[in-house]
Amino acid sequence: MAGKWSVQILVAAAQGPIRFTELERGIEGISRRMLTLTLRNLERDGLVTRTVHATVPPKVEYELTPVALELHQTLQRLTDWAENNRVYIAEARATYDAEHQPELLDA
């Protein structure tokens, strides 16, 4: 599971330790289930550490490991590329779709 949410978690946690609920609020559209699952996978791969504070109410913080911080940096370039070429790709898609679906007009 490379996971469609992993990248966003890496970005959200890049600035330092962050709580479960903060992640949930910070990542648009993620469900609790997917947040938990993705965090577990990242933890399993040694990319995040999970720290449970025995307080009331409970408090769990996630923090990126050094390896994950490196990954975050290289991902940043990908994000930049995506941002720089968003319009180009959107236009390419529109053109392609216009040329390959005109049959629908026959109806």
Q: Find the angle CA(13)-CA(14)-CA(19) to the nearest 5 degrees.
A: 20
Examine residue 59 and tell whether it contacts a copy of itself (CB under 8 A): no
Strand partners, 19: 61
Contact segment (CB under 7 A) with DNA among 8-16, 58-66, 72-80, 86-94 equals 58-66
Which of DNA, a copy of itself, none interacts with 11 (beta carbon under 5 to 8 A by kind)?
none
Which two three-digit tokens encode residue 67? 């390896």
- Residues between 71 and 90 with contacts to a copy of itself, criterion CB under 8 A: 71, 74-75, 77-78, 81, 85, 88-89
* Contact criterion met (CB below 8 Å) for 12 and 61: no
CA distance 107 to 105: 6
Q: Which is nearer to a copy of itself, 46 or 58 (CB)?
A: 46
* Contact criterion met (CB below 8 Å) for 15 and 39: no
Catalog residues that contact DNA under the rule CB under 7 A. Answer: 1, 3-5, 19-22, 29-34, 36-37, 39-40, 50, 52, 57-60
